[in-house]
Amino acid sequence: KQEVTQIPAALSVPEGENLVLNCSFTDSAIYNLQWFRQDPGKGLTSLLLIQSSQREQTSGRLNASLDKSSGRSTLYIAASQPGDSATYLCAVRRETSGSRLTFGEGTQLTVNP
Amino acid sequence: SAVISQKPSRDICQRGTSLTIQCQVDSQVTMMFWYRQQPGQSLTLIATANQGSEATYESGFVIDKFPISRPNLTFSTLTVSNMSPEDSSIYLCSVSGTGIYNEQFFGPGTRLTVL
């Protein structure tokens, strides 16, 4: 059974700091991994999707890496801003396309002005 | 990408009643997914809804408690039946994008409080 763990559970940083969020998964037979952002009481916004054959994806100040063999992914946020404050979730999809996602518990990020 | 809307956005309900949540997608999709997020927790898949067939429920979820309809390729409903305070959660509708990447998209969620 796939298990996804995110560390740390919560993180508080001053504005402008670069930071790394970690995601690990127990079964490396994944199809892809996706990072989401969730604001309090809201739905999920897709940030980055990494296919199993890819090593990283970038979007603006965000960079996600994937090491499938070791079961790890990181989300790097450069020059953090108060508007980045949210919960960040990673989710993995098994190798069979269309199968369900397994989510981590999330990292609650607070960026202080 | 897919744009997903949900109704209602939030509701407060009495114990023992039922609530039907609607999900509308701006494009035709084969599979729609319903997730539950209990307070302070991550997302758990309730069921997968395919058009023209019965929904497939995950372990711990049953059709009598969470009946699902999927009348066409852009719409689905989830009913939370005979509610108790333990059903207080955010309920999220989700779809997979078309193409080989299967990016997952989520609706804004329905925040349900049961008194």
DSSP annotation string for B84-113: -GGG-EEEEEEEEPSSSS--EEE---EEEE
Put simply, whether A97 touches B (Cβ < 8 Å) is yes
Q: How confident is the model at residue B40 (pLDDT cuts 50, 70, 90)?
A: confident
pLDDT by position in tens, chain A (length 113): 889 999 999 999 999 999 999 999 999 989 899 999 999 888 899 999 999 999 999 999 999 999 999 999 999 999 999 999 999 999 999 876 566 799 999 999 999 99
- Residue B99: its pLDDT value, please? 66
- Residue A60: its pLDDT value, please? 96
Among A41, A46, A97, whose Cβ lies nearest the Cβ of B105? A46
Q: How far from B85 is each of A57, A68, B38, CA to CA, in Å?
A: 41, 40, 11
Q: Which of A1, A42, A53 to mutate to test the interface with B (most CBs of B within 10 A)?
A: A42
Among A45, A46, A106, whose Cβ lies nearest the Cβ of B42? A106
- Locate the chain B residue with the closest alpha carbon to A104: B42
- Residue B49: its pLDDT value, please? 92
Average pLDDT over residues B1-19: 95
- The alpha carbon of residue A36 is apart from the nearest alpha carbon of chain B, in Å, by 10
What percent of chain B is predicted at pLDDT more than 90?
A: 77
Among B6, B90, B102, whose Cβ lies nearest the Cβ of A31? B102
* Chain A residues lying within 8 Å of B108, measured CB to CB: 42-43
Comparing A68-82, B10-24, B28-42, B77-91, which segment has the lowest mean pLDDT? Answer: B28-42
Distance from C-alpha of B55 to C-alpha of B43, rounded to nearest angstrom: 18
Sheet holding A19-25, edge to edge: A4-7, A19-25, A72-77, A62-67, A56-59
- Residue A2: its pLDDT value, please? 87
- Residue B34: its pLDDT value, please? 96
* Chain A residues lying within 8 Å of B96, measured CB to CB: 98
